[in-house]
Structures are given as C-alpha cells and as structure tokens.
Amino acid sequence: MRRKRFYQRPGFRRLATLVAGIALYLWISSLLEEPLPALLVVGHMLLAAIGLMLAVALSSQFILPVRSSSERLAVFWRVLAYWVGIRGPVMVIQNGRVIEAPGERERSGSGVLLIDQASAAVLRTKTRFTRAVGPGIAFTKPEEYLAEALDLRRQVRSVESVDPLSGSSLQQDDLASLARTEDGIPIAADLSVTFILDPGHNNSPREGSQPHLPPFEFNASAAEKAVFGHTFHQGVEIPWTEIPLRLVADLWREEAKNWCLEALFTIEQDQITPLAHIQDRILNRLIPTTLEGSTTISSDAEDPNRESQILHSRGIRVLDVKVSDLRLPPDISEGHTERWREAWAGAVQGALAQATREADLARQLGEIEAQENLAREITAELRSQIAKGSIPNMQETLGMLLQDAGRVCTDQELVADGSALAMHLRQISDEVASLDGDCQPRAS
C-alpha cells in the first residue's frame, strides 16, 4: 500500500484545524475594544487543553476493557496518538485469525491488539522477535508489529489416502501417506493428528474444564517456539501447524516398512488390529514419556524421543493420532479380496457342515429319547401290575397297552392332535375286552 504524504494524513488535518482555531481565537480577541491580556489568553488555551485531555482520558476508558492503571494510561496515550495521526496498528485477533483494516501493518506508532480467549500472538520489530502475548489487550511499542497470530484451541490436520500407484503424479512438495511394506507393496492410509499449543505442564489441557479459569491456556514459551522455529522445505515456509502431520506421515512410512502385506491383515485372537498397533507406536513416538496417557510401547522403539523433541522445540503437544482406511493397488486389492473370499467361503462351508452334523445328531438323540418316553408311557400300567407281582395274560396285557396308548393320545404335551387316534384305540380296546385270555373269541 502506498504511503500517504504527511499533509494527507488525518492527524495533519486535525492539527491544522486546531492551529486555525487558535489563530481565529487570537484574531477575534485582537478585534475587541479592550484586547484580552496575554496571560488570560494563555489561561484560556490552557483550560481548553486541560478540558480536552480530561475528555480524552474519560472517553478512552470505555474504548477497551482496561483494568489496571498502566492499561488506562496506555489507552489514553494511544487515543491521543490517534487524534494526532501518529497511531500504530489496531487489530483484533479472533480464533487465531487477524481482523484488521487495510494498511494496519504498515503503521509504525504505538498500537493495540485485542485478543480473544482462544488466541495468542507474537510481536516483533524489523530486526528481531520481541515477545509473546496472550488473551486480553496487548499494547505494542513504536516500530513493534504483529509477527504471527496463534490459535490456542486443539487443532486437527489430516491427509486422505490415494491410489498407491498414482503417487508418481504427486508434486514433490505434496504431503501424502504413501508407504511401502516390507515386501515392497505400495500402500496408503488416511492419517490424522490432533494437537495443541503446549500448555506448559504434563497434565491434560484445560480446554474449558475449569469454569473459574480461562478456557484455554497460554504458554508464552511455547508460542515463541512455534513462531521462532519456522521450518522451510525447498525454500517454502511450512507453518508450525503442519509439522505434526508431516511427522506422522514420516513415522507411518517408517512403521509400514516393518510389516509385510499379509501381516497387516492378520489379527491374532484377543489382539488389536495391525493398524491400531501402528497407530499406538506412532503416538508413542510423538508423546514424551513423562506425559499422562503415553503408551508403553516405547521400550523397543528406535530413538523414541527424537520426534517428541522436535515437537517440544516447536512448542507443540500431540494429543491423538489416527491411522485408518488402508488402500492397496487395485490388482493386489482384488487378489487379496479373492483369497479372503475363498478362505471365508471354506470356513463357512466347514461351519455349515459341522452345524448339519450336530443338527442330525441332535435330531437322532431326540428321536431316541421320544421313543423311550413313549415306551415308558405305553407300558406304565403293565409295569405297575408286574411290579405288584401280578402276571397278566395276553388279553389283559394287550388291553393295558391299548388303554395307556389311548391315554397318551389324549395328552397334548405328548401328542399334538391325537383325539381321532384315541377314539380308534378305545374301539380296539373294547374289541379286545370281548376276547378270552389268549385273545381268542370266546366260545358261545
């Protein structure tokens, strides 16, 4: 933006108006029959200046939510600087984003930043970084301006899996989740990392859990590290918010090369999935062992503190890592699916055959048990008579069997619909009753 000439600035116009007003006052006073004494004129000007200063001091207290005397004085001087036209940048930082008017960053005077509870900022001059400021009001000094605004909330960065065979079409600086297994198969997966600006302690981030405290914690040291330690890749500056995902992608490639393709799809009984295991190992490499919730896989991890030290030097704490949606080249995926289908079909056929055999066995056992129950019920009366010592003849034996059979037919629990059969058995029983002991017709 082109810098305005001094006579085009609002401050020059206000100063010119003030000088013109004083000149008009002196000219009018000189036209009076009795000119005002010089001391009185000076007194009037002094009273006007004091009144103006008091008005500015009073009104400035309501412009910003200031509390301390130093903040009130700083607001007062900045309002005066605004009226004179030598003010510095005035900005609002909300959710890590800067809200400003055009040309604000080019102002070199004393300025002010209004920062919400979810944001922070780092200030600098043309030659060095100066300080980090957190939520609230921050007053900048002359020649001091905003270097970068920061978001204090937890953030998520992710990269989706792509066709492993299309990796050659990616640009060299594109971030991708392409990797190779131990047996040289190209694979890809969805990668996601959740992180936050390091709050400066080893406990879980506050994030609004304590109502009497600000919702987000501000750690000036972490904010300075995030801005001071910028990373460059092939001459392109990488924001601090992209570093965690790049580390996750590197660790994913490092872990994937330790697994063969079949092992990635093999789940032992009562064991977590291979992707979940890789996910835990990556998270363990990114979380310092002193933090709560760190896993116990670090005992066999190679140089477990390297990645966590990189994050610590950038003022970043990783909270969670997700690895999902493993993708294979189309031909390998189809072959693997076919083998899985065959293995699954074989297992299902075996299970069905086993179930059929078990059902047949259960049916046979049920039939045998039913036959035994039926035999016991039909011979109940006969066995009772034999137990008493009675020896029935053939006609009596047949009659008792028919009588018990008729009783069984009338029992709904044993025979669902045996009423017709029971009636037929009673008729036969009556016919048997008319026979002699050897079941022969009685002699007339």
Residue-number span of the structural domain to which 413 is assigned = 379-444
Q: What is the mean pLDDT of the chain?
A: 80
pLDDT single digits (tens) 270-286: 678 889 999 999 999 99
Same domain flag for 271 and 219? yes
Question: Rounded mean pLDDT of 226-252?
Answer: 86
Examine residue 62 and state whether it is found in any structural domain, yes or no.
Answer: yes
Tokens 């920062």 belong to 115
Same domain flag for 165 and 304? yes
Which of these three, 118, 151, 184, is where a domain ends? 151
The predicted pLDDT at position 282 comes to: 93
Same domain flag for 181 and 258? yes
* 291 pLDDT more than 70: no
Tokens of 25: 């006052």
The predicted pLDDT at position 1 comes to: 46
3-state secondary structure of 133: strand
The predicted pLDDT at position 204 comes to: 87
Same domain flag for 176 and 70? no
* 169 pLDDT more than 50: no
| Contact status, residue 231 vs residue 237, Cβ threshold 8 Å | yes
* 298 pLDDT more than 50: no
Using the CB atoms, write b or e for 131-166: b if 16+ within 10 Å.
Answer: bbbbbbbbbbeeebbbbbbbbbbebebebebbebee
The predicted pLDDT at position 265 comes to: 81
At 246, which amino acid appears?
R
Same domain flag for 392 and 416? yes
Helix (H) / strand (E) containing 274? helix 274-286
| Contact status, residue 90 vs residue 112, Cβ threshold 8 Å | yes
Which of these three, 70, 85, 100, is where a domain ends? 85
Q: Exposed, middle or buried: residue 116 (CB in 10 Å: 0-12, 13-18, 19+)? A: middle
Which of these three, 289, 307, 328, is where a domain ends? 328
For residues 213 and 21, the model is more confident at 213
Same domain flag for 129 and 160? no
* 69 pLDDT more than 50: yes
For residues 269 and 249, the model is more confident at 249
Share of the chain above pLDDT 90, in %: 25
Same domain flag for 15 and 49? yes
Same domain flag for 135 and 20? no
Examine residue 342 and state whether it is found in any structural domain, yes or no.
Answer: no
Same domain flag for 34 and 176? no
Same domain flag for 76 and 93? no
Number of domains the chain contains? 4
Per-range mean pLDDT, top range of 4-18, 372-386, 415-429: 372-386
The predicted pLDDT at position 246 comes to: 92
The predicted pLDDT at position 118 comes to: 93
3-state secondary structure of 163: coil
Beta strands in 118-197 (DSSP E): 119-124, 129-133, 136-140, 145-151, 155-159, 179-180, 186-197
Question: Rounded mean pLDDT of 381-399?
Answer: 78
* 6 pLDDT more than 60: no
